[in-house]
């Protein structure tokens, strides 16, 4: 768990590799189901094409099918899911039906100012899609991609006003999960500021009591 820009996707890759378990993100599941034209993928596509949110029931069913695959039999890491209390409640029920439970929920803790600084500094190449950062990973020439010479631009998602709105949505919809999992005794928070490698080491340390 963590706000947008906390580094969830990056840390999930490292931690899943460290634990030798699959990283399971709803984004990956959606793309796979859409690409394969599965019944759930086609159902989700109907909602997406009409501009509606995909219902939790469809998302949960996709997650259930993914967790039933052989590579998840000895553990898994959920990235970016659940995002809301209804999803968390449905996930608990689904896992109980499967005879498994979450061991730990890792919260990446970072303040809003840092999130805005991280995301609003990102620049994306129009040509190759490489992401640079004005402060942390700048190109050698401002506005020009070192990889392909393409023009760099700021995505709408990364503009400060959009980031601020994403943080408001997170506070409203997802932050309540902190109390939800805290009450279950499963929440562990780590400082997500500083170099990526340092955050990964903190995450590994936090997971050791749970077999990590």
pLDDT of residue 27: 82
Q: Tell me the C-alpha to C-alpha distance, in Å, between residue 21 and each of 45, 71, 77, 192, 196.
A: 29, 7, 7, 22, 20
Could you write out the DSSP letters of every residue in 132-191? Answer: EETTTB--SBTTB-TTT-PBEE--GGGSHHHHHHHHHHIIIIITHHHHHHHHTT-EEEEE
The pLDDT value given to residue 211: 77
b/e burial code for range 69-105 (CB count within 10 A of at least 16 → b): eeeeeeebbbbbbbbeeebbebbbeeeeeeeeeeeeb
Domain housing 161: 8-21+74-210
Q: What is the pLDDT of residues 4-52, one digit of tens each?
A: 989 998 899 999 999 999 999 988 888 888 899 999 999 988 888 887 7
Catalytic residue among 83, 130, 186, 204: 83
Q: Is 68 contained in some domain?
A: no
Active site residue 64: no
Share of the chain above pLDDT 90, in %: 77
Q: What is the pLDDT of residue 180?
A: 97
Q: How many domains does the chain have?
A: 1
Whether residue 50 contacts residue 17, with contact meaning beta carbons closer than 8 Å, is answered with no
Residue of 126, 155, 168, 172 marked catalytic: 155
Q: How far apart are CA 45 and CA 30, in angstroms?
A: 9
Does residue 124 fall inside a structural domain? Answer: yes
Q: Judge whether 149 lies within some domain.
A: yes
Q: What is the pLDDT of residue 30?
A: 86
Asked if 174 and 83 count as a contact pair (C-beta separation under 8 A), the reply is yes
User: Over 90: is that where the pLDDT of 53 sits?
Assistant: no
- Selecting among 8, 66, 118, 123, the annotated active-site residue is 8
Is residue 127 pLDDT above 90, yes or no?
yes
Residue 186 appears among annotated catalytic residues = no
- Is residue 69 situated within a structural domain? no
Does residue 66 sit within a domain?
no
Are 25 and 81 contacting, i.e. CB atoms less than 8 angstroms apart?
A: yes
Q: Could you give the C-alpha distances from 125 to 7, 38, 41, 82, in angstroms and in order?
A: 20, 33, 30, 31
Quick check: is 123 catalytic? no
Average pLDDT of span 51-64:
87
Catalytic residue among 23, 117, 118, 122: 122
Number of H helices, E strands in the chain: 9, 7
Q: Is 83 a catalytic residue?
A: yes
- State yes or no: is 126 an active-site residue: no
**Which pLDDT tens digit goes with each residue over 69-115?**
999 999 999 998 999 999 999 999 999 999 999 999 999 999 999 99
- Provide the CATH number for the domain around residue 204: 3.40.50.300
Residue of 66, 117, 123, 166 marked catalytic: 166
């Amino acid at each position: 768990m963590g706000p947008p820009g906390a580094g969830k996707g990056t840390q999930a890759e490292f931690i899943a590799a460290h634990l030798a378990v699959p990283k399971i993100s709803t984004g990956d599941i959606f793309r796979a189901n859409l690409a394969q034209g599965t019944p759930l993928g086609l159902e989700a596509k109907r909602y997406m094409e009409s501009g509606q949110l995909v219902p939790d029931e469809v998302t949960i069913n996709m997650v259930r099918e993914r967790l039933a695959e052989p590579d998840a039999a000895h553990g898994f890491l959920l990235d970016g899911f659940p995002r809301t209390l209804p999803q968390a409640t449905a996930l608990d029920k689904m896992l109980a039906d499967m005879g498994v439970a979450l061991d730990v929920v890792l919260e990446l803790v970072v303040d809003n100012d840092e999130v805005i600084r991280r995301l609003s500094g990102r620049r994306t190449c129009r040509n190759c899609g490489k992401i640079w950062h004005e402060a942390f990973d700048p190109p050698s020439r401002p506005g020009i991609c070192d990889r392909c010479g393409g023009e760099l631009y700021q995505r709408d998602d990364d503009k400060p006003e959009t980031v601020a709105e994403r943080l408001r949505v997170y506070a409203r919809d997802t932050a309540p999960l902190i109390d939800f999992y805290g009450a279950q005794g499963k929440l562990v928070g780590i400082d997500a500021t500083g170099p990526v490698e340092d955050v990964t080491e903190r995450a590994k340390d936090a997971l050791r009591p749970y077999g990590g």
